[in-house]
Structures are given as structure tokens and as C-alpha cells.
Amino acid sequence: MYEISGGFAITRKGVERDFSLAIQNDRIIDMGPSKDIRSKYKFSDSIGGKDMVISPSFVDAHMHSFQVATKGLTSDKSLLDWLKKYIWKWEGTLTPERARACARLSYLELLKSGVTTFVDYTSVHHTDQAFLAAQEFGMRGNIGKTLMDRNSPSELQETTDDAIKDTARFIRKFHCSDKGRLRYMITPRFGITCTDELLAECKKLSKKHDVMITTHAHESRFEVVTDKKNYKTSAIRHFHKLGLLGPNLLLAHCIWLDKTEMALLSKTNTGVAHCPGSNMMLASGIADTPKMLERGMNVGLGSDMGAYYNLSIFDQMRLSVMVQKVRSLDPNALTHNQAFEFATIGGAKAVGLGRQTGALEIGKKADIVLLRTRNTAFSPMNDVVAQLVYSASPACVDTVICDGKMLMKDKAVLVADEERIISDSKEILKQAE
Ligand SMILES: [Zn+2]
């Protein structure tokens, strides 16, 4: 049993001072004022200290690790242009070696940002490489093979049967593996590239194995118009007709929603991955997250790498608040506390892990990050959460713990060779000459 202590801790009740957590194996078994906790237990080790903030580690509810190699090449494009000209082209050239290098580089950046739970759409091929990399890192990976059985380039398009068979094989191999840290997520790309037959098979697999489905919906206006032509109704209404909406579905984006669609999502308890950085980068629009919260929906944050160029959850927290202020010209449209919740418990609930992670609570998994406060971001210390959201960056992350296990300590990544990952990426993923 070991102790994690901090000058500050962000709990569900608010910010606590001089606080400690007692960790046994993979769980938080007790927490409270440091002096009380220390008098109750005999610890074999103690980490943290007065100059640290203890926070639940973060959730990136939507990213594409295999797209990390397109960083810097795809600026100033709209969604379908970006996808067809750059992303699909790159995904068509993936090899197992490139896929592994992408996954390692992405998970390294997530870890250094304090993220321990992530949702990774990989690509059509080499998804096993992402699972193997997540296993190396000891993170809570929710990973899926992208499914496309129409309107796709030949290197990526599969038959419905092949797509489903491969998915079923991955579910059997990886779902709930690595002590339950790794979960499979069924990941049809989006309505435009997936037949109804494929979506119906996804639903069957989801039910049979109790596996979540995640896909993109209502991201750009062009996509919405195309879906309306195909479906004679909107994608969300169509997904509802197919019986896909529900707590086992996580939808990325959800920008262009009418009242009925918003009501359908909230009524069915469908999770949303809000990706403000990507939505700005591709000029897709702004999701109405204050309305989603008003309706009690589970909303998490996604970096949406590669549409956005980094995996810092701090960026997404900050952007998620700022964009609402500009959108509504109301400084109270969304608060920094709500942005923090998006990145922690909101994301955990949206990805179906709300009971296990996303908050400092007795009985929850020890998924924890320690942030240093002896830096400009937290000096002077006036409001811990406001400064975490508006001033902090991955540079403040000192220690990252997942499932009670230390993945990073004193800013050093313990589970991977950081230098090697960087030099391999420069070599293996090089594209621009
Ligand atoms: Zn995406």
C-alpha cells in the first residue's frame, strides 16, 4: 500500500488542501486530510508532496493514433478534402511497422499530457499494432479497427463480411485483455462509408459481446447534406431507426443537431466526444455543449489527432470553454470546472467507464496524475482548476498512474524509451522531403 499526497487535490467535492490517497493494488481505498490518512495506515512508499496537485488522470475520448504521421501536412482543409486527399492516402500506405510507430508516438504524447484512458480509431489494417503498443504502455486503451464497406479508396474498402469477421476476431483476442485495461470498440468510420448492412452487423456484435460502438456524426455541414441525400433523413435519426443510439454508442462531434436530434441523444443516453480543436481546425462548426450538459448528457473531450496537431488534453479543455464564450458572447456559457469534468468524469462516463475511473473516489481505480505547482502556470496559486484549464500544459505533468501502477514519475516515462520512440518516428514516419 502506498500514499499519494498533494498540497491540493481535485475531488468531486471541490479542491482539498494537504490531501492524501491510500492506494492498494489498483484502487483508491481511502482518502482525506494527509494527517488523518497517515495516522490510519502504514505505507510502504509515499509519492507527491506539498508542491503537487492531485487530479484524476484524463480521458481522450476520440483520437486516431495512426494519423499522427500527417501532423503538419494537412492545414487549411475542410473535412472531406482533408480526409480524401491526405488521411486515406496515408492510411493506404500503412505497414505494421509504421502503425506501431504511430501508436507508440501517440500514446507517449497522451501519457505526457496526463491521459490514461483513450479511444483510438486506428485504421482498416494493423489495428493489432495499436493494442500491442497500449499493452506496452499499460494504459486504458479503447481501440477499434475502422470499418468502411462503401465509397472508400480500394486499399481501404472491405466487404461487409471481411470487416465484420476481422472485428469479431479482434474482440475475441483483445476485448477485456491486459487485466481489463484494453477494450475493443467497434468503429464504423461514418455513415457515408458504411452500408446499413454493416451497421446492423455492428449492432449485433455489440450486443453479443457487450462492446461499445463509436463513430463520427454530424461533423461538417457537407457531411450532413450528403447523409440527408443518402438516408432521406439525418444520420442521427437514421442511426436511431437502426437501433444504434444508447449508452453503448459514443458519437464524435455532434455539431449540427436540431432539437429532435439533441433530444434523441439525451433520451437514449448516447455519449458524445466533443473535439473543439479539430472542429476549429477543419472549420466544421461549434457543438452546443452547454445545451448537452443542460440535458444531462455524458460529454467527453477528444483531441481528434490528426485533424488537430497535438494530443494535449489541456488544449482541448481550454478550447472547449473559450469557443463557447465566443459562440454565445456569454462569459458564463461554460465554466472551467465543466471543462475539467469533460476531461475527467464526463469522458469516463461517455466511454462507459464512469464507475471505474475519471474521479478521485474511494473504490475507484487509481488512475491519477500529479501536476507540479512550482512553475509559472500555478504561481501564484489562486484557483487550482482555473489555472489547470487556462494556464497549465503537459509541461506541468510530473507523475502518471494507471491502475495503481506508475507509468511516469518525476517527468520520466517509465514504460517506454522516449528517445527511441522519437528517433524511430522521425525515421519510420517521415513523409515530407
Ligand atoms: Zn475522428
Q: What is the CATH number of the domain that holds 110?
A: 3.20.20.140
Residue 162 has pLDDT above 60, yes or no: yes
Distance from residue 277's CA to the centre of ligand 1 (Å) = 11
**Any domain includes 127:** yes
Q: In total, how many domains does the chain have? A: 2
The residue assigned the cell 486506428 is: 122
- Model pLDDT, residue 433: 46
The reply to whether 337 and 388 lie within a common domain is no
Distance from residue 190's CA to the centre of ligand 1 (Å) = 9
The reply to whether 171 and 291 lie within a common domain is yes
The residue assigned the cell 480524401 is: 84
- Model pLDDT, residue 272: 98
Mean pLDDT (whole number) for 11-39: 98
Distance from residue 304's CA to the centre of ligand 1 (Å) = 5
**Any domain includes 426:** no
- Model pLDDT, residue 432: 56
b/e per residue 192-206 (b: at least 16 CB within 10 A): bbbbeebbebbbebb
Distance from residue 60's CA to the centre of ligand 1 (Å) = 12
Distance from residue 34's CA to the centre of ligand 1 (Å) = 42
In whole angstroms, give the CA distance from residue 100 to residue 126.
8
The reply to whether 84 and 167 lie within a common domain is yes
**Any domain includes 432:** no
Residue 89 has pLDDT above 70, yes or no: yes
The reply to whether 109 and 238 lie within a common domain is yes
Residues above pLDDT 90, as percent of the chain: 95
In whole angstroms, give the CA distance from residue 114 to residue 369.
6
**Any domain includes 355:** no
Residue 216 · residue 202 · CB < 8 Å: no
The reply to whether 40 and 63 lie within a common domain is no
- Model pLDDT, residue 74: 84
Confidence band, pLDDT 50/70/90 cuts, at residue 198:
very high
Output the CA–CA distances (angstroms, integers) from residue 409 to 112, 115, 117, 288, 309, in the order listed. 10, 14, 18, 37, 25
Distance from residue 62's CA to the centre of ligand 1 (Å) = 6
CATH number for 381? 2.30.40.10
The reply to whether 116 and 188 lie within a common domain is yes
Structure confidence by residue, pLDDT tens digits, 110-159: 999 999 999 999 999 999 999 999 999 999 999 999 999 999 999 999 99
The reply to whether 303 and 393 lie within a common domain is no
Averaged pLDDT of the chain = 97
Structure confidence by residue, pLDDT tens digits, 220-249: 999 999 999 999 999 999 999 999 999 999
- Model pLDDT, residue 85: 83
Q: Which residues contact 329 (CB under 8 A, 6 or more apart)?
A: none
The reply to whether 219 and 173 lie within a common domain is yes
Residue 91 · residue 123 · CB < 8 Å: yes
Distance from residue 4's CA to the centre of ligand 1 (Å) = 35
Confidence band, pLDDT 50/70/90 cuts, at residue 75:
confident
Distance from residue 19's CA to the centre of ligand 1 (Å) = 38
Bond prior to 331 in cis (omega within 30° of 0): no
The reply to whether 305 and 372 lie within a common domain is no
Distance from residue 252's CA to the centre of ligand 1 (Å) = 7
The reply to whether 181 and 97 lie within a common domain is yes
Confidence band, pLDDT 50/70/90 cuts, at residue 430:
confident
**Any domain includes 333:** yes
In whole angstroms, give the CA distance from residue 345 to residue 412.
26
Distance from residue 67's CA to the centre of ligand 1 (Å) = 10
Distance from residue 90's CA to the centre of ligand 1 (Å) = 15
The reply to whether 15 and 162 lie within a common domain is no
Distance from residue 303's CA to the centre of ligand 1 (Å) = 9
From the list 414, 378, 372, 379, the residue with the least C-alpha distance to 396 is 372
Distance from residue 173's CA to the centre of ligand 1 (Å) = 24
Distance from residue 407's CA to the centre of ligand 1 (Å) = 26
**Any domain includes 16:** yes
In terms of residue numbers, what domain contains 226? Answer: 58-350
- Model pLDDT, residue 94: 94
**Any domain includes 234:** yes
Residue 305 · residue 64 · CB < 8 Å: yes
Structure confidence by residue, pLDDT tens digits, 102-122: 999 999 999 999 999 999 999
Distance from residue 55's CA to the centre of ligand 1 (Å) = 27
Distance from residue 425's CA to the centre of ligand 1 (Å) = 22
Distance from residue 52's CA to the centre of ligand 1 (Å) = 33
Q: Exposure of 332 by Cβ count < 10 A (0-12 exposed, 13-18 middle, 19+ buried)?
A: exposed
- Model pLDDT, residue 82: 86
**Any domain includes 428:** no
Structure confidence by residue, pLDDT tens digits, 295-348: 999 999 999 999 999 999 999 999 999 999 999 999 999 999 999 999 999 999
Distance from residue 293's CA to the centre of ligand 1 (Å) = 22
Give the DSSP letter string of 142-162.
Answer: EEE-EE--SSS-TTT---HHH
The reply to whether 128 and 233 lie within a common domain is yes
